[in-house]
Structure 1
Amino acid sequence: MKSFWKNSEALSARLAASSKLLVTLDFDGTLAALAETPGQARLEPALRCVLTALAVCPGVFVFILSGRALPGLRRLVGLSGLYYGGNHGMEIKGPGFSWRDERAVKAKRLVAGIASDLKKRFQPGTGVLVENKIFSASVHYRNLKAAYERGFFSSMKALMAVRSANFYWRSGNMVFELLPHGAVHKGDAVAMLARCLEATGNIAVGDDLTDEDMFSALAGRGVTVRVGRVSGSKAGYFLSGQAEVLRLLRFVAAARDL
């Protein structure tokens, strides 16, 4: 990966040259700093302001693509004129666009049952938070209490070792995610929306393992940026940390003469 800022002149020209630019952004750890619990995450006013400006810029489409469930993501960001992707792209809504992955829809009832079992297994007092996100489930352990660490990781290892025809587990930043086999991921989602919008240019920014899917999908045909320098990332460029995301979005706006 290269430093985004050390290559800013060439990147500015590249972003300006696209007649239709799709700007894809992860939420947690990218647009918003990682919080103790998902419910505590907040979008700072300055970021909200620049997203609003980009959304009304001719030839620019803003796509917030998150592992969160779509309704909660839309409430949290609260801006019109944007495209939103929930559950890593299994559900997408935006101006004149609405789509759901039918494979994920069919798994909804099974997800609810598994999430219910997980909540019984990992009680609130352990510091573990289980989320039923309708089409997927998450097990957050950012606040896991030391006394329960051995039991928690032992349980998760056993769960992840079980082969299933319907689901698979994936690890992220202090989270384990249960995802339906065959459902779309972030790479599929950004590629699909780019085709539908006939985007001629892409910039995608993310900080976690699931964002690597969109970096791979846009390899050679988009600007891909990882928040934090990580060995082995498929992103072409990196930012030092989440605090630089606002600067990057202002940079994109300036490249588009906003």
Structure 2
Amino acid sequence: MSTEEDFEQYLGSYIGEDQYIALLLDYDGTLAEIPDRPELSVIPPETKKVLYNLVNSGKVFVAIISGRSLEDLRGKVGIDNVIYSGNLGLEILLPDGTRHNQTISEETANNFEKMIDHLTKEVAHNGAWIQNKQIAITLHYREMNPELVPELLVKANQIIKGYGYQTHAAHNALEVNPPIEWNKGLAAELILRTSFDENWKRRKVIFAGDDTPDEDVMKVIKGFGKSFRITRGVDVVTNADFKILSVQSVFLMLKWIEKKMCK
């Protein structure tokens, strides 16, 4: 799916006419390209403009669920009346200022800085580095010699689990989160349940994401929503209804939705 006509073919009948839709989106690799360093990420102006138009159309509900910290995510997108969810759903901020944050035990919270110090001494070398997201971290190894990565992951996992935290694989990175049974999918469900009535599963929901944690959202909306996995890998196994190639493809989808909903 690489043209607006493709989206008309596969989503036109799903949305129908004069529908109100819920649009859930990842950020990195979906709305913005993944740069060498997270702080260099920029949402393209044309994408931001279309997203702004959708948010203010009165017909499109928008939530962005990211692995970034909540404040970082909100700063990168910079659009009001959007629900922002950071740290893979651990933090949720509604437009009225209401927050839904998952509770972390005092013992776990006390181990956070100790874990970072230990990882900094033992594994944050040779191109590997730590992104501190206040209640979670990302261990990046994109710049590392690929031959050194397996040893890094073994050592990092041992250290992280020793402090009671859990890990999830991501693009050239290891996501490190508190030991809470929570994920992007549960965050998406909470967002939809609290934003709509008990018939939230009857809503028209569209989701796009590019990474393994996004699969949890795809599972939640399976059967009543439509989801897209951004990937160039033909062998990637996904719960998504469709695969699309790139951030540019996501922009084309948003443009199509804008034309469809903002007539």
TM-score normalised according to structure 1 size: 0.88
TM-score normalised according to structure 2 size: 0.87
User: Please, which moves more after superposition, 87-96 or 107-116?
Assistant: 107-116
SS class of match (2:215): helix
Provide the C-alpha distance between the structure 2 equivalents of 1:105 and 1:143, rounded to a whole number of angstroms: 34
**Cα-to-partner distance string for 1:135-164 (whole Å, 9 max, x where unaligned):** 2111011111x3xx5455313213425755
Provide the C-alpha distance between the structure 1 equivalents of 2:105 and 2:188, rounded to a whole number of angstroms: 17
SS class of match (1:84): strand
Identity %, equivalent residues: 24
- Kindly indicate whether the alpha-carbon contact (under 8 Å) linking 2:26 and 2:64 is maintained by their aligned counterparts in 1: yes
Kindly tell me: are residues 257 and 106 of structure 1, through their superposed partners in 2, closer, same or farther at Cα, counting changes over 3 Å? farther
Match 2:244 to one of 233, 239, 243: 239
**Cα-to-partner distance string for 1:54-106 (whole Å, 9 max, x where unaligned):** 11121321111100011111111111111111001100112123210113787
Match of 2:221 in 1: 218
Deviation at 1:238, TM superposition (A): 1.4
Provide the C-alpha distance between the structure 2 equivalents of 1:18 and 1:169, rounded to a whole number of angstroms: 42
Deviation at 1:222, TM superposition (A): 0.5
- Kindly indicate whether the alpha-carbon contact (under 8 Å) linking 2:65 and 2:88 is maintained by their aligned counterparts in 1: yes
Match of 1:208 in 2: 211
Match of 2:12 in 1: 12
Provide the C-alpha distance between the structure 1 equivalents of 2:108 and 2:257, rounded to a whole number of angstroms: 38
Match of 1:196 in 2: 194
Provide the C-alpha distance between the structure 2 equivalents of 1:220 and 1:105, rounded to a whole number of angstroms: 39
**Structure 1 vs Structure 2 CA RMSD:** 2.4
Q: Which runs of 5+ in 1 are unaligned?
A: none
2:155 corresponds to which letter in structure 1?
A
Count of equivalent residues: 253
Match of 2:46 in 1: 46
SS class of match (2:182): coil
Provide the C-alpha distance between the structure 2 equivalents of 1:59 and 1:153, rounded to a whole number of angstroms: 47
Match 2:170 to one of 169, 172, 177: 172
Match of 2:57 in 1: 57
Structure 1 segment 1-258 matched on structure 2, within 5 A:
6=6, 8-16=8-16, 19-96=19-96, 97-103=98-104, 107-123=108-124, 126-144=126-144, 146=145, 149-160=146-157, 166-198=164-196, 199=200, 200-230=203-233, 231-258=236-263
Runs of 4+ in structure 1 off by over 6 angstroms are none
Kindly tell me: are residues 192 and 112 of structure 1, through their superposed partners in 2, closer, same or farther at Cα, counting changes over 3 Å? same
SS class of match (1:176): strand
- Kindly indicate whether the alpha-carbon contact (under 8 Å) linking 1:83 and 1:92 is maintained by their aligned counterparts in 2: yes
User: Please, which moves more after superposition, 195-204 or 48-57?
Assistant: 195-204
SS class of match (2:104): helix
Provide the C-alpha distance between the structure 1 equivalents of 2:185 and 2:106, rounded to a whole number of angstroms: 19
Provide the C-alpha distance between the structure 1 equivalents of 2:148 and 2:210, rounded to a whole number of angstroms: 28
Provide the C-alpha distance between the structure 2 equivalents of 1:127 and 1:34, rounded to a whole number of angstroms: 17
- Kindly indicate whether the alpha-carbon contact (under 8 Å) linking 2:123 and 2:152 is maintained by their aligned counterparts in 1: no
SS class of match (1:8): helix
Provide the C-alpha distance between the structure 1 equivalents of 2:220 and 2:28, rounded to a whole number of angstroms: 20
Provide the C-alpha distance between the structure 2 equivalents of 1:183 and 1:135, rounded to a whole number of angstroms: 15
Kindly tell me: are residues 169 and 108 of structure 1, through their superposed partners in 2, closer, same or farther at Cα, counting changes over 3 Å? same
